[in-house]
Amino acid sequence: MGGTSSERDVSLSSGLRIAEALRERGHRVLAVDPARGPISPDEEAAMRAAGVVKTVPPTPEELRELERTSRAPALGTFPEVREADVVFLALHGGQGEDGTIQALLDMVGVRYTGSGHLASALAMDKDLSKRLFHAAGVRTAEWLMAGAAVGPAPSADEVERALGWPVIVKPSKQGSTVGLSLVREPVALAAAVEEAGRHDDEVMIERYIPGRELTVAVVGDRALPVGEIFPKHEIYDYECKYTAGMAHEKFPADLTEECAAEARRLALAAFRALKLGGCARIDFRMTEAGELYCLEANTLPGMTPLSLVPQAAAAAGMGFAELCDEIVRLAV
């Protein structure tokens, strides 16, 4: 838990909660932060008492300093890792979710939860994942890309012709809506691209899909009940996700049986298109006409008290400790 991504605080919150749940199920749990190293029981207790998720993510400057001193390259040498039966990955974003840590664990022969290194990398790259969704028959919003590997940013005229307004501008390989902007008019495009570019070397410009915000958690080969999110802001942003009272969720969502079944079917199709494993969360927008557009797949979704996957599990009759135990079982 922890790491050096912009979702560090969320990851620490997830990890602390998971560790407590697994201990309830009788597991011996050791906490490790790839950025800082093993976390002692006293340090863990202090973090738990203080709380770790703030209303804004760490700044890029703070993260660069963490990366400079990170112990992640030595992760495979830690006894806590090498001698583990299973490494439960509670990392979000960055090297923890993009396949880097997964590849390192593959190299040292340690089992871990969630998806493998290739699937993790594909899901983290929103451009590649949308191409695979499209190939699998899962509808996704039209998009354009900008960045060193894909070409310069399109002009406002090009965006208007291809996508219309408004559009979503976001880093291609980030989560928790970090660096994301809703752009309604041409004059705001350049600043939004610049902001997204502070968090990633590639930027996605995507047609905005108005409608209801839906989410489907997949555990193993099972799609859990569909949930609906009602954020206080127009976009389900970082503050809404991690600040109590800034959003509420309903599980199961108030949908027809047919629509809920279709959302679960598409979630499983997206899960399989990316060759995901363990537990993942697939997010959708549903238009007034009932069309479902897949937004993205989250291979290591949040497990904080406000997170969506635990709520979906509860709607399926599965407690949080049971959910964590099942994720471990899938890894074994």
Decide if 112 is catalytic. no
Question: Scanning the structure block, which residue is given the tokens 């090297």?
Answer: 95
Active-site residue identified among 5, 14, 172, 176: 176
The answer to whether residue 281 is catalytic is: yes
Alpha-helix runs per DSSP H in the chain:
8-24, 41-50, 60-69, 79-82, 94-97, 100-108, 117-124, 126-135, 156-162, 189-197, 238-242, 257-273, 308-315, 320-331
Dist. CA 87–CA 33, nearest whole Å: 12
Out of 5, 7, 227, 307, which one is annotated catalytic?
7
State the DSSP code for 87. Answer: B
Please tell me which residue in 17, 207, 264, 281 is annotated as part of the active site. 281
CA atoms lying within 13 Å on the CB side of residue 114: 29
- 133 close to 183: Cβ distance less than 8 angstroms: no
Q: What is the dihedral of CA 99, 102, 106, 108, to 10 degrees?
A: 130
Annotated catalytic, 298? yes
201 is catalytic: no
The residue annotated as part of the active site, out of 9, 125, 283, 325, is 283
* Order of strands across the sheet that contains 167-171: 143-147, 202-207, 167-171, 181-183
Catalytic option among 228, 296, 307, 325: 296
The catalytically annotated residue of 112, 208, 242, 293 is: 242
What token pair was written down for 46? 């202090």
- Say which of 11, 13, 70, 298 is annotated catalytic: 298
* CB-CB contact of 287 with 293 (8 Å): yes
H or E stretch including 222?
A: strand 222-223
Respond yes or no: is residue 242 known to be catalytic. yes
2 part of the active site: no
Q: Is 20 a catalytic residue?
A: no
- Single out the catalytic residue among 11, 302, 307, 325: 302
Nearest of 237, 272, 230, 266 to residue 251 by alpha carbon: 230
Active-site amino acid positions: 7, 176, 242, 281, 283, 296, 298, 302
